[in-house]
């Protein structure tokens, strides 16, 4: 992937004024640093002349100047360190917000393939390292480039031949840097992928800790974690090996530069082409040149970390949602609730088999319809096509005679309420979780929704009522309580179309009876599609649709389908025998 330079630098724009001030301070700090060896040279020459009284007054004067320069340096360094880090942190925060917001736009198909832990690694680890590059990169390059170029011209003015001899080493240093930077980039990218695997393993294991412990499979999880952890360790070792080669090669070249200066500088003193004060100054400036080289070579890993992090950031940012609004998408003013599937076919990936093939179905406004059939025939998939969680492969889905592809996604989904089999509650309070159905609503409306869902009673028995913290994924609640909260969310949303995907599956018989009554009350006057595994819960459905691998094979009321003695009757009798 070509590195997007323009995009990379665009994040400086909101903070350009502050950033330029940081760079100006970095420039001043480096320029001040260059003055010190010249002051030392001046003192040394005065002392070597033998005029001790004159040298002493010069020392005091220059010493005072040095103290002033130290104060300027300290103030500049403080500003660079504090405000420079602040700029980096602000940019990191902007990018993290942008990435998270972009992830919210991506379609279900993206999350079907990606692991949560890997995405978390991109939002946290990658951007943290990128922040350091944004701050330290330009600032350090300005500081050390000023020192390097300034030192070069001063050295050239002292002794041109010796300076040229020293600079013969720099092409070798550049070649080493180019070669090892490629190795480091590859190694660091592998590191990020493998730490993403570690994060994914941790997230997966800890999210399912109750399942792990119920099956006494802690050792299995430890082995899986150790496998991912050891792979990450192996990649880190390879990175450190490349870094060791690189840094040692650089250190060797730097030592050769110092030796060259000492040998040829001493020879120049013997040959009266260089004096002692100039040699001391030369050695001081060589250290000023060597320090930038050392710092910049050590920065190479930081640079590569940041570049790799930005490339991974852009990999996500460049992804487009597979499901988006059309230009001038329609806003639904009022929904009656007629749903039609017209010769719909669907498969999740181009290389996979179709889940649905040429399926046609119409649900009338306000009709209460139940979908039944064996597991894996596409009942949930069919309902997921209505709010466009997935796009049909062929055919069309219509709401009130309008293709859902022509409707504004927000408008479409605002008019559809879904209670899923896999209940998800957010960490927070009971009130916050019910209020998720309509964040702008009042506390009174939330309580009313809970009463409709028959959840008010158990909520008031909790330690802090509606303000009780329920833990991650609602771990402090029973399955039935969690389900009632999720139903209360839909009551609060008050949509004209309802999709109930095994909405009573987590309830005991008593709770199921209570919720069934509430759901039937909610369904009045609304188009309702119920996906049911317990066939006893949908006896009162106006129409039961039986879906198999061959498509829709039967339709009718509970009594009519039993009398037909077909697939539904067989499923019902089999379930009845198991009870």
Based on the fold, state whether residues 310 and 409 are members of the same structural domain.
no
Q: What count of residues does the chain have?
A: 579
Q: What is the distance between the alpha carbons of residues 345 and 394, in angstroms, rounded to a whole number? A: 5
Judge whether residue 416 has pLDDT over 80.
yes
Cβ atoms 431, 449 nearer than 8 A: no
User: pLDDT class for 454, splitting at 50, 70, 90?
Assistant: confident
Sign, Cα dihedral of 436, 442, 447, 452: negative
Based on the fold, state whether residues 85 and 191 are members of the same structural domain.
yes
Tokens 């490349």 belong to 242
* Average of per-residue pLDDT across 265-280: 77
Helix, strand, or coil here: 368?
A: strand
The pLDDT, as a whole number, for residue 512 is 67
Chain segment 191-222, per-residue pLDDT in tens: 877 887 887 777 777 766 756 765 667 777 88
Based on the fold, state whether residues 228 and 266 are members of the same structural domain.
yes
Among the three residues 285, 317, 349, which one is the final residue of a domain in this structure? 317
Based on the fold, state whether residues 432 and 489 are members of the same structural domain.
yes
Identify whether 348 is part of a domain. Answer: yes
Identify whether 349 is part of a domain. Answer: yes
Closest alpha carbon to 308 in 193, 197, 189: 189
Longest dimension (CA), the chain: 123
Tokens 């130290």 belong to 70
Chain segment 305-324, per-residue pLDDT in tens: 788 888 888 888 998 888 88
Range of the domain at 373: 339-578
Based on the fold, state whether residues 26 and 117 are members of the same structural domain.
yes
Identify whether 4 is part of a domain. Answer: no
CA distances in angstroms from 534 to 422, 507, 517, listed in the order given: 16, 11, 16
Among the three residues 258, 285, 317, which one is the final residue of a domain in this structure? 317
Q: What is the distance between the alpha carbons of residues 361 and 552, in angstroms, rounded to a whole number? A: 9
User: pLDDT class for 394, splitting at 50, 70, 90?
Assistant: very high
CATH, residue 466? 3.40.50.300
The pLDDT, as a whole number, for residue 529 is 92
Based on the fold, state whether residues 236 and 360 are members of the same structural domain.
no
Closest alpha carbon to 246 in 180, 171, 175, 178: 180
CB atoms within 10 A of CB 475: 12
Identify whether 327 is part of a domain. Answer: no
* Average of per-residue pLDDT across 341-363: 91
Based on the fold, state whether residues 345 and 212 are members of the same structural domain.
no
Q: What is the distance between the alpha carbons of residues 87 and 397, in angstroms, rounded to a whole number? A: 49
Q: For residue 37, what are the contacts with CB-CB under 8 A and spacing of at least 6?
A: 154, 281, 284, 285, 288
Based on the fold, state whether residues 298 and 408 are members of the same structural domain.
no
Identify whether 331 is part of a domain. Answer: no
Identify whether 9 is part of a domain. Answer: no
CATH, residue 54? 1.20.1560.10
Based on the fold, state whether residues 162 and 56 are members of the same structural domain.
yes
The pLDDT, as a whole number, for residue 532 is 81
Based on the fold, state whether residues 343 and 311 are members of the same structural domain.
no
Tokens 């001391």 belong to 280
Cβ atoms 453, 515 nearer than 8 A: yes
Specify the pairing of strand 339-346 against strand 356-363. antiparallel
The pLDDT, as a whole number, for residue 54 is 56
Residue 389 sits at φ, ψ, to 5 deg, of: -70, -30
Chain segment 420-448, per-residue pLDDT in tens: 877 778 878 889 888 888 888 889 999 99
Identify whether 472 is part of a domain. Answer: yes
The total number of structural domains in the chain stands at: 2
Among the three residues 317, 348, 380, which one is the final residue of a domain in this structure? 317
Based on the fold, state whether residues 389 and 245 are members of the same structural domain.
no
Identify whether 154 is part of a domain. Answer: yes
* Average of per-residue pLDDT across 50-60: 61
Based on the fold, state whether residues 295 and 364 are members of the same structural domain.
no
């Amino acid at each position: 992937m070509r590195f997007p330079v323009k995009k990379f630098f665009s994040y400086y724009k909101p903070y350009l004024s502050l950033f330029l001030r940081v760079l100006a301070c970095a420039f001043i700090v480096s320029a001040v640093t260059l003055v010190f060896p010249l002051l030392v040279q001046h003192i040394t020459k005065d002392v070597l002349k033998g005029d001790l009284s004159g040298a002493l007054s010069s020392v005091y004067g220059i010493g005072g100047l040095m103290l002033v320069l130290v104060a300027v340096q300290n103030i500049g360094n403080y500003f660079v360190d504090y405000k420079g880090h602040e700029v980096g942190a602000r940019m990191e925060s902007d990018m993290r917000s942008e990435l998270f917001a972009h992830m919210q736009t991506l379609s279900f198909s993206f999350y079907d393939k990606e692991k949560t832990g890997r995405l978390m690694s991109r939002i946290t680890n990658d951007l943290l390292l990128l922040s350091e590059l944004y701050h330290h990169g330009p600032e350090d390059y300005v500081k050390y480039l000023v020192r390097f170029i300034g030192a070069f011209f001063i050295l050239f003015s002292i002794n041109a031949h010796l300076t040229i001899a020293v600079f013969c080493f720099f092409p070798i240093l550049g070649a080493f840097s180019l070669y090892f930077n490629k190795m480091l980039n590859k190694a660091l990218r592998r590191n990020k992928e493998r730490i993403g695997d570690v994060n994914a393993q941790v997230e997966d294991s800890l999210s399912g800790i109750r399942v792990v412990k119920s099956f006494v499979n802690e050792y299995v999880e430890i082995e899986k974690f150790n496998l991912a952890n050891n792979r990450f360790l192996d990649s880190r070792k390879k990175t450190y090996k490349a870094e060791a080669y690189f840094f040692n090669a650089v250190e060797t070249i730097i030592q050769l530069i110092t030796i060259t200066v000492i040998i040829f500088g001493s020879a120049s003193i013997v040959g009266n082409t260089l004096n002692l004060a100039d040699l001391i100054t030369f050695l001081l400036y060589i250290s000023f040149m060597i320090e930038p080289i050392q710092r910049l070579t050590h920065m190479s890993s930081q640079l590569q970390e940041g570049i790799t992090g930005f490339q991974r950031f852009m990999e996500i940012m460049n992804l487009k949602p597979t499901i988006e609004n059309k230009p001038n998408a329609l806003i639904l003013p009022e929904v009656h609730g007629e749903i039609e599937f017209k010769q719909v076919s669907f498969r999740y990936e181009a290389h996979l088999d179709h889940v649905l093939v040429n399926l046609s179905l119409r649900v009338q406004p306000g009709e209460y319809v139940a979908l039944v059939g064996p597991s894996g025939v596409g009942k949930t998939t069919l309902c997921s096509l209505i709010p466009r969680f997935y796009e049909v492969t062929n055919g069309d889905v219509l709401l009130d005679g309008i293709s859902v592809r022509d409707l504004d996604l927000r408008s479409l989904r605002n008019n559809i309420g879904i209670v899923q089999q896999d209940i998800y509650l957010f960490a927070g309070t009971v009130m916050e979780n019910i209020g998720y159905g309509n964040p702008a609503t009042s506390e009174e409306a939330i309580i009313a929704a809970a009463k409709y869902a028959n959840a008010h009673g158990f909520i008031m028995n909790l330690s802090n009522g509606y303000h009780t913290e329920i833990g991650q994924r609602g771990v402090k609640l029973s399955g039935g309580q969690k389900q009632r909260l999720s139903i209360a969310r839909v009551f609060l949303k008050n949509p004209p179309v309802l999709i109930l995907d095994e909405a009573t599956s987590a309830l005991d018989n008593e709770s199921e009876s209570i919720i069934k009554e509430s759901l039937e009350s909610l369904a009045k006057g609304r188009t309702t599609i119920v996906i049911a595994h317990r066939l006893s819960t949908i006896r009162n459905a106006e129409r039961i649709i039986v879906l198999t691998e061959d498509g829709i094979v039967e339709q009718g009321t509970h009594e009519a389908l039993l009398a037909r003695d077909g697939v539904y009757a067989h499923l019902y009798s089999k379930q009845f025998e198991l009870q």
